[in-house]
């Protein structure tokens, strides 16, 4: 793949195999890969012609910005809807919330993204073109963090902030919908279960206000399983960018991974996979640590 099609000089092939360590036994290659990965060396990308670590640093900000906004959307909308549905069981509000969350979970993200682009951009003309982080004639803010929203604020350019947010919202909502549906369903079930506990009846019998019972007593306990789901969903949002970024031409890790797969660029594929795996582990550690803040009975000695 690297040398191109056609007959190759055996000496060049042998030199390249030796340079990349492909002439060594597989266990040695595996140990070398682990050693290099721990030092930040993830290999060389065939299709970009650069080290994989440099490519990941280049594409990472776009993916982080998209994943973070999608996560915020899922939390900000999912928690109130889940609480409202759980507090009003078997009402019209509860039924609408359950049906909506089921639809969000059932729709593939790439299909919903295509519907958003077709209806919002081609038919109604309300949404921006799916050309990436900005329009073809827009200028990116001066790079500081790589996050366009943050960099535009640091540059004191509200117009750039609005433009970046305008292009970010369609893929962010598309990516957030499955997580939003799952958060609503999980929190609703937890709220319904917690509201039937003895300490909730005790609080009500002592004359505690309904809002206080719901938010101070029930929600805090109901959030524990929901926080676990949110931790897993953040990792899924990060890895789920592959389809959404491809549909919206978003220049992030997902689009980079698709290109790497099409080129059979194994070093790039392994680098992306390793990055997502490390993210999952880190998020789950943070979720475990958050249990102590939610439940006083949980301590870490």
Provide the pLDDT for residue 25.
93
Mean pLDDT for back-to-back runs of 10 residues, the chain (301 residues): 76 87 91 91 88 92 91 90 86 87 86 91 89 85 90 91 92 90 88 81 79 77 81 75 86 89 90 88 82 69 63
In three-state secondary structure terms, 51 is strand
pLDDT, position 295 = 67
Who contacts 294 (Cβ-Cβ below 8 Å, separation ≥6)? 220, 221, 223, 224, 227
Q: CB of 109 within 8 A of CB of 240?
A: yes
Q: What is the pLDDT of residue 173?
A: 92
Domain range annotation of the chain: 11-41, 42-294
Query: Strand pairing partners for 44?
Result: 51
Return d(Cα 104, Cα 20) in angstroms, integer. Answer: 46
pLDDT, residue 167, reads: 92
Q: Which two tokens stand for residue 182?
A: 């799952």
| Domain at 42-294: CATH code | 1.10.3720.10
Nearest to 93 by CA among 190, 201, 218, 188: 188
The CA distance from 226 to 292, in Å, is 14
Q: How far apart are CA 221 and CA 75, in angstroms?
A: 17
Answer yes or no: are the C-beta atoms of 238 and 279 closer than 8 Å.
yes
Distance CA 228, CA 204 (A): 28
Between the alpha carbon of residue 141 and those of residues 66, 158, 251, the distances in Å are 17, 10, 16
Distance CA 85, CA 92 (A): 9
């Amino acid at each position: 793949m690297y040398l191109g099609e056609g007959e190759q000089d055996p000496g060049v092939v042998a030199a390249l195999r030796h340079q990349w360590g492909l002439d060594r036994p597989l266990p040695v290659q595996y140990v070398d890969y682990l050693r290099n990965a721990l030092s930040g060396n993830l290999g060389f990308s065939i299709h970009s012609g650069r080290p994989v670590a440099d490519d990941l640093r280049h594409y990472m900000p776009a993916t982080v910005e998209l994943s973070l906004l999608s996560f915020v959307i899922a939390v900000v909308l999912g928690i109130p809807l889940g609480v409202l549905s759980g507090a009003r069981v078997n009402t019209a509000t509860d039924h609408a919330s359950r049906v909506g969350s089921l639809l969000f979970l059932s729709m593939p993200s790439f299909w919903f993204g295509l519907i958003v682009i077709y209806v919002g951009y081609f038919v109604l003309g309300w949404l921006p073109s799916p050309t990436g982080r900005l329009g073809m004639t827009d200028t990116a803010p001066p790079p500081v963090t790589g996050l366009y929203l943050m960099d535009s604020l640091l540059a004191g350019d509200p117009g750039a902030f609005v433009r970046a947010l305008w292009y970010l919202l369609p893929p962010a909502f598309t990516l957030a919908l499955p997580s939003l549906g799952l958060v609503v369903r999980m929190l609703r079930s937890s709220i319904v279960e917690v509201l039937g506990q003895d300490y909730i009846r005790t609080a009500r019998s002592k004359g505690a206000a309904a809002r206080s019972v719901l938010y101070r007593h029930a929600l805090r306990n109901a959030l524990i399983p929901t926080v676990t789901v949110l931790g897993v969903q953040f990792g899924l949002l990060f890895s789920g960018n592959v389809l959404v970024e491809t549909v919206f031409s978003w220049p992030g890790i997902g689009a980079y991974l698709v290109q790497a797969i099409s080129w059979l660029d194994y070093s790039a594929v392994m680098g992306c996979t390793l990055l997502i795996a490390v993210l999952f582990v880190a998020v789950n550690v943070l979720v475990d640590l958050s249990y102590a803040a939610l439940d006083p009975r949980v301590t870490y000695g």
